[in-house]
């Protein structure tokens, strides 16, 4: 009940610059009410944070709240939808903030969803029929158990800004005051007519009619209202209401190395370019330093980061959200990303967000849903492509042309060259305007930014049937491609010859003797942990357009390796594209803490995954593409406390007969590359001197 103390203190007029509206009006009035009707243009669930203390008592009083709101959409979006769809989008936009990376927005939105779920709050959306005007009424009516009423009429919306930042005012009416019941009755009548859809030129759509029964359950947390209140109070202590200010103070939790800072500032000045750093030397942190520089100088507010796989989406998301509030994950395992992104872009355009970060897989980024949303930014964003070489296919390069109007473009890659395709390499360089900064593997090792490594090639010979099959396919390739021995771009090789090259490489990848060598090697590592085994894609059933980077054909070798480890009672798990996000994260964490001694992978760990604990690497198979083994080596060399050196074992197929010449020439290139920066380089130079000379010519002297 509205006590005498509340009634006596109640003013007839409140103004945000003169009064503490939350403390002096909302909290005491809501605390003592059992019913609250609110008719308002704009509503934000974040308002619940401000008067959460009053809301707790309102719920204890078995209070009921009815809310009439305007669509939370831009005018052009309203024009595209019928009233029911417009109402649905409005409700979903509010509910979707449950996925926000901003803690207070996240929790207040969960409270909003919980209040609806518990039938404490009922919501209706007022949509203009003529698509011209908007519902902008601002009245509220509070009732206590004795049917005393307090009503307001004024300028403020039901948003945090309206009560804590904007200059707003409203009049207050009490049913106990002589002559004021007439006003309150008029407000009640207006609210009732609108609530009952008895209002000209507008459709009033209820929440229950706008969304499916099961949709709300997607957003409702299992947390109790009490625990959500506790969380809100915890974060209120950490954050103030200045979260909506135009500038977001950014303090990085790392100090960039000189080469990272120089690269970032060079890119900021030139606006475009590829940062080509050795794997493991901090490309992501360099990009974040560049982002901070742009924000500090007020040069950019929106950033779109595209990455090749789901694991990298999660890693970028986690990294960014440690500094920034508004980060959206866009990929298949985040089913509501489109709604969240649409909402965030809307608020960014209305200057209600300090900045926006979009992290997307390549496939999602080039899809129609993303394209529709990104267009709304009018090219006013920074485009960052991690592992940008993965965009160097004909399909992606043609789609990439759409982004050519974006002024700021950054590529990140340790290996930006496209394997066996000079044309696509040049097209990629043209888009990003070449390489803006480099930091090599030798520089990183010599400067102590990567761990030193010993390299141990393990010689493997083919079985007679494998060598026979290899020769047979080679002859078929020669017939299909008479210029077989010439160096050409891969896309100039006939398609059937490409397929045969792929089939032939699988023989080398899956050589049976590799498993025997691995069995013996693992027997000598019984007390070791943090071992990474890279398997090859060896089972050829069909070939996709992206077969050079495909993981479809993994089941033969990786299955046999997994079975062998199981028989040896070695705790291990596989890490491939077949596992979902949660499985991948769990397996990496178990590997890091030592519960899993071995992680078995194909290509999913080639790019971007940060597991610095790796101390031993075993390469069961590697393609002729330098990018693959360069990425894998860098993955193993990341710095880690107590890790002084990494041991890399490489299964290489070599033979002395002329039948092996083609195989030797491919495998020796990898041995040469690993030897160049190995800690045991001197002994490797001696051991392979003759082969370096025979197959690499004058490269032996490099």
> With 90 as the cut, is the pLDDT of residue 497 above it?
no
Read off the pLDDT of each residue in 339-356 and give the average, rounded to a whole number.
88
Element (H, E) at 411: strand 408-412
Considering only CA atoms, which of 406, 401, 315, 319 is closest in space to residue 366? 401
Ramachandran angles phi, psi of 697, nearest 5°: 60, -130
Residue 307, token pair as written in the block: 């990455």
Q: How many CB atoms lie within 10 A of CB 130?
A: 7
The more confidently predicted of residues 50 and 538 is 50
Considering only CA atoms, which of 504, 468, 457 is closest in space to residue 650? 457
d(CA 268, CA 262): 10
Q: What is the structure's pLDDT at 163?
A: 67
Considering only CA atoms, which of 449, 368, 477 is closest in space to residue 637? 449
Do the beta carbons of residue 159 and residue 91 sit within 8 Å? Answer: no
Q: In the Cβ-directed half-sphere of 303, how many Cα atoms lie within 13 Å?
A: 29
Ranking 30-39, 94-103, 625-634 by mean pLDDT, the lowest is 94-103
Q: What is the structure's pLDDT at 485?
A: 57
State the pTM of this model.
0.63
Give the Å distances, CA to CA, from 55 to 22, 31, 108, 170, 531: 12, 6, 12, 21, 54
Give the Å distances, CA to CA, from 137 to 142, 157, 166: 16, 9, 17
Q: What is the structure's pLDDT at 544?
A: 37
Would you give the DSSP letter of residue 118?
T
Rounded to the nearest 10°, the torsion over CA 36, 42, 46, 50 is -50
> With 50 as the cut, is the pLDDT of residue 613 above it?
yes
Considering only CA atoms, which of 475, 463, 546, 551 is closest in space to residue 507? 463
* Angle subtended at Cα 480 by Cα 476 and Cα 484, rounded to the nearest 5 degrees: 90
pLDDT, tens digit (0-9, with 9 covering 90-100), for 400-442: 988 889 999 999 999 899 887 888 999 999 999 999 999 999 9
Ramachandran angles phi, psi of 168, nearest 5°: -130, 160
* Angle subtended at Cα 378 by Cα 372 and Cα 384, rounded to the nearest 5 degrees: 85
Read off the pLDDT of each residue in 224-245 and give the average, rounded to a whole number.
58
- What percentage of the chain carries pLDDT values higher than 90? 52
Alpha-carbon torsion (307, 311, 315, 317), positive or negative: positive
> With 90 as the cut, is the pLDDT of residue 114 above it?
no
- What percentage of the chain carries pLDDT values higher than 70? 86
What is the edge-to-edge ordering of all strands in the sheet holding 531-534? 452-460, 645-653, 616-619, 531-534, 598-601, 572-575
């Amino acid at each position: 009940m509205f006590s005498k103390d509340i009634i006596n203190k109640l003013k007839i007029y409140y103004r945000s610059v003169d009064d503490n509206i939350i403390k002096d009006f909302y909290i005491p009035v809501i605390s003592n009410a059992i019913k609250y009707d609110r008719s308002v243009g704009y509503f934000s669930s974040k308002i619940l944070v401000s008067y959460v203390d009053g809301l707790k008592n309102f719920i204890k009083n078995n209070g009921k709240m009815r809310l009439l709101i305007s669509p939370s959409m831009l005018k052009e979006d309203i024009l595209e939808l019928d009233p029911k769809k417009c109402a649905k989008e409005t409700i979903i936009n509010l509910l979707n903030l449950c996925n926000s990376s901003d803690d207070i927005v996240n929790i207040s939105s969960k409270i909003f969803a919980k209040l609806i779920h518990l039938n404490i709050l009922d919501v209706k959306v007022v949509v203009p029929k003529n698509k011209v005007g908007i519902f902008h009424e601002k009245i509220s009516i509070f009732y206590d158990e004795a049917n005393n009423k307090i009503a307001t009429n004024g300028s403020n919306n039901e948003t945090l800004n309206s009560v804590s930042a904007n200059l707003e005012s409203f009049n207050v009416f009490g049913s106990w005051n002589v002559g004021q019941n007439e006003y309150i009755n008029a407000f009640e009548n207006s609210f009732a007519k609108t609530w009952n859809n008895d209002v000209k030129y507008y459709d009033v759509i209820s929440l229950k009619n706008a969304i499916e029964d099961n949709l709300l359950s997607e957003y409702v947390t299992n947390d109790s209202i009490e625990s959500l209140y506790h969380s809100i109070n915890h974060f209120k202590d950490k954050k103030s209401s200045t979260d909506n200010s135009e500038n977001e103070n950014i303090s990085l939790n790392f100090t960039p190395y000189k080469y990272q800072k120089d690269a970032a500032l060079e890119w900021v000045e030139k606006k475009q370019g590829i940062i080509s750093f050795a794997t493991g030397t901090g490309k992501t942190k360099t990009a974040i330093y560049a982002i901070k520089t742009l924000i500090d100088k007020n040069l950019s507010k929106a950033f779109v980061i595209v990455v090749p796989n789901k694991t990298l989406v999660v890693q970028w998301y986690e990294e960014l959200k440690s500094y920034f509030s508004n980060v959206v994950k866009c990929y298949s395992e985040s089913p509501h990303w489109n709604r969240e992104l649409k909402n965030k872009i809307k608020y960014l355009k209305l200057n209600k967000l300090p900045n926006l970060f979009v992290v997307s897989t390549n496939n999602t980024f080039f899809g129609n849903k993303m394209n529709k949303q990104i267009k709304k930014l009018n090219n006013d964003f920074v485009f960052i492509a991690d592992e940008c070489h993965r965009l160097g296919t004909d399909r992606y390069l043609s789609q990439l042309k759409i982004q050519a109007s974006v002024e700021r473009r950054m590529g990140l890659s340790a290996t930006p060259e496209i394997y066996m395709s000079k044309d696509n390499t040049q097209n990629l360089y043209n888009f990003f305007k070449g390489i803006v900064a480099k930091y090599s593997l030798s520089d990183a090792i010599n400067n102590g930014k990567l761990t030193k490594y010993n390299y141990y090639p393990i010689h493997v010979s083919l079985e007679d049937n494998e060598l026979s099959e290899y020769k047979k396919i080679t002859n078929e390739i020669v017939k299909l491609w008479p210029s077989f021995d010439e160096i050409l771009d891969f896309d100039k090789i006939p398609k059937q010859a490409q397929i045969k090259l792929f089939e032939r490489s699988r023989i080398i990848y899956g050589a049976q003797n590799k498993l025997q060598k691995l069995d013996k090697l693992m027997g000598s590592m019984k007390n070791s942990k943090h071992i990474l085994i890279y398997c090859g894609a060896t089972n050829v059933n069909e070939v996709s357009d992206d077969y050079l980077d495909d993981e479809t054909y993994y089941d033969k070798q990786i299955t046999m390796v997994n079975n062998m480890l199981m028989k040896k009672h070695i705790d291990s798990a596989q890490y491939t594209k077949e596992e979902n996000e949660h499985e991948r994260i769990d397996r990496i964490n178990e590997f890091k803490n030592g519960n899993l001694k071995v992680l078995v992978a194909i290509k999913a760990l080639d790019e971007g995954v940060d597991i610095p604990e790796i101390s031993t690497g075993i390469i069961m198979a590697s393609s002729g593409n330098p990018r693959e083994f360069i990425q894998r080596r860098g993955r193993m060399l990341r710095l880690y406390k107590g890790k002084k050196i990494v041991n890399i074992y490489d299964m290489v197929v070599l033979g002395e007969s002329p039948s092996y010449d083609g195989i030797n020439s491919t495998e020796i290139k990898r041995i040469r590359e690993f030897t160049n920066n190995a800690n045991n380089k001197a002994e490797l130079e001696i051991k392979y001197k003759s082969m370096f000379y025979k197959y690499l010519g004058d490269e032996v002297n490099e």
